[in-house]
Structure formats: C-alpha cells, structure tokens
Amino acid sequence: MTDADNTATDRADEGDEQAPPGIDVRTPSPARIYDVFLGGKDNYAADRAAAQIAVEAGPDIPRAARENRAFLGRAVRFAVESGIRQFIDLGTGLPTQGNVHEVAQSLDPDARVVYVDNDPIVLAHARALLPPSRTTTVIQADFREPAAILDHPRTRSLIDLEQPVAVLMLAVLHFADDEQVRASIAAFREAMAPGSLLIVSHSTTEGHPETGDEAAGAWRNASARLQSRTQKEVEALFDGFDLLDPGVVWVPQWRPDPGADEGTRWMYAGVARRP
C-alpha cells in the first residue's frame, strides 16, 4: 500500500458515517468521487479522501469535471438541433444541474431519456429526484453489458431503435479495459439507426505527463480503477462512426461557447455520427 493509499484510508476513517442499506461507503465510488469534484453533497469520507489525492496532483481537476458537464450540455443541444429526440446516458452519475433530460427537454419537452448506471446509490438518488414521467427513466445496469440495456423493458418503452438516438458515454469508458470498451461500443453501434450520435468524453494523463499517474491514483482503491487513454486511442473508439468536427479534442475545446478559454487538459471529447 502506498503513502497515498494510507492517507486515503486514514481520511476515510474520520467520522462515523452511517451507510444506507446496501451501500458500501468504505470503498470510494467513481460516481461519488465525481460528485465531490462538482461540489455535491452525495458523497462520503472515503470518496472525499480519494478526490483529495487527485486534487493534490491536479488542482484543476474539479474544473475539468465542470467542463465535462458543460460539454454534456453543448453535445445534447447539438443532438437536438440535429433532429435527435431520444438519448441513452450510460454511466449517468449522481444527479446534478444540467442533466441530459433538462437540457434536451428545454428544447423539446417530448425528448426521451434513459439513464443507466450500475451504482445503487446513483439509482436511489435518481429515482428519488426524477418525478414519474412518460419521457424519462433510470435503470440499473452496466455499460459493459449492452444487451441488458438495449433489451430492458424501460429502454424499449422509451427508445425506438429504428430512429436516431444519441448514446452518451461521458467519463465512463476509462473504467473498463480495451476489450470491454470495444465490445460495448460495437454493440451499441450495431443497434443504432443511421444518423445516431455517439458522444464520448474520456480521461487522459497526456496533458499532464508528470502528475497524471499520481492523479489517477485517486481511483486505485475505488470500486473501479481509472485507465488513461491517449488521443489516438480515444479516436479509435469511434471506429465505424463518422467523427464530426473538430474531432477528438480537449473537452472545453469541443465547439466551445463564445468567449471560452482553452480550459484544462484532463479529458478528451468527441462526437460521431452513425453512417
């Protein structure tokens, strides 16, 4: 065990947090670590300790998380403007402002959204916050098991796979190995109608070669470890799709709003169309 691991364990021992039924708060959760970066409150000592390891190595990582949320908003708006009215959001994470359904339905109230996450605490919060709706649902599933998602009754009730759909894989693919990632994307590509969009963001250490591995250590003892990929490796994830301009770039540089600065260099983003 490294000094960073010991530090995380010591910090996680601070306080006596009562776990909700079925929730392991002693093991850092990627969704809850991300919630810490976004300034949320749905996290525990172990998550905050892990997040602190990342922030000590990369003080601008919380900003990168916010930039990723902003990219979600721009990409969803682009999808709606392109005529897409249905979305599958894989690895949803804990609910926060600017969720997919909020962005999409602000442009078209009839836009339909299926949220997917394998973390039970994400599902508990999402179901508590999402009112009964004919346009939005949440299911517990793992993006590495695409058939379970595509064949789920709630997915089938909202998503017409004969029509274009936007599949979002934001800040989730870096928690799986190459074979799992390729297989999942291939399964969704096969199911997606022509004109559909694949929307991806992915962590990388390329922008911080001296401190990136240290920052990635935040997830060493988490329920899923983070795997960095290079720009070329992220570009390869779009095999079988037509990558749209400006290609795979730093998250804040994907079709930025006017006046935006260059931002951080912790994540790549890209959007591609199914031919």
- Percent share of the chain, pLDDT over 70: 91
Per-residue confidence band for 15, with pLDDT thresholds at 50, 70 and 90: very low
pLDDT of residue 1 exceeding 60, the answer is: no
**Model confidence pLDDT, tens digit, residues 194-204:** 999 999 999 99
Residue 45's alpha-carbon distances to 58, 84, 240, in angstroms, are 20, 40, 42
Cβ atoms < 10 Å from Cβ of 240: 14
Residue 179 pLDDT greater than 60, yes or no: yes
The per-residue pLDDT for 18 is 62
The pTM for the full model equals 0.91
User: What is the C-alpha separation between 53 and 218, in angstroms, rounded?
Assistant: 5
* Predicted local distance difference test score (pLDDT) of residue 256: 97
* Model confidence at 11: pLDDT above 50: no
> In percent, how much of the chain has pLDDT > 90?
79
Residue pLDDT, tens place only, 33-42? 999 999 998 8
| pLDDT (mean) for 207-224 | 93
Reported as a single tens digit per residue, the pLDDT across 82-135 is 999 999 999 998 877 789 999 999 999 999 999 999 988 888 877 777 766 899
What pLDDT was estimated at residue 16?
Answer: 38
> What is the model's pLDDT at position 4?
43
Return left, alpha or beta for 175; rule: phi > 0 is left, psi -120 to 50 is alpha, else beta: alpha
- State residue 123's pLDDT score: 81
113: closest CA among 64, 158, 57, 171? 158
Report the pLDDT averaged over residues 214-227.
92
- Per-residue pLDDT for 10 more than 70? no
Q: How much is the pLDDT for 119?
A: 86
pLDDT at 250: 98
Q: What is the model's pLDDT at position 21?
A: 67
Of the two residues 12 and 260, the one the predictor is more confident about is 260
Residue 275 pLDDT: 98
**Backbone phi, psi, residue 55, to 5°:** -70, -35
pLDDT of residue 243: 98
Q: How many CB atoms lie within 10 A of CB 265?
A: 19
Residue 152, token pair as written in the block: 């789920």
Are 83 and 57 spatial neighbours (Cβ–Cβ below 8 Å)?
no
Burial per residue of 178-207, b for 16 or more beta-carbon CB atoms within 10 angstroms, e otherwise: eeebeebbebbbebbeeebbbbbbbbbbbb
- For residues 249 and 269, the answer to whether their CB atoms sit within 8 Å is yes
What secondary structure, in 3-state letters, does the chain show? Answer: CCHHHHHHHHHHHCCCCCCCCCCCCCCCCHHHHHHHHCCCCCCCHHHHHHHHHHHHHCCCHHHHHHHHHHHHHHHHHHHHHCCCCEEEEECCCCCCCCCHHHHHHHHCCCCEEEEEECCHHHHHHHHHHCCCCCCEEEEECCCCCHHHHHCCHHHHHHCCCCCCCEEEEECCHHHCCHHHHHHHHHHHHHHCCCCCEEEEEEECCCCCCCCHHHHHHHHCCCCCCCCCCCHHHHHHCCCCCEECCCCCEEHHHCCCCCCCCCCCCCEEEEEEECC
Answer for the pair 123, 138: CB distance below 8 angstroms, yes or no: yes
Q: What is the mean pLDDT of the chain?
A: 91
Predicted confidence band at 6 (pLDDT cuts at 50, 70, 90)?
A: very low
pLDDT at 128: 75
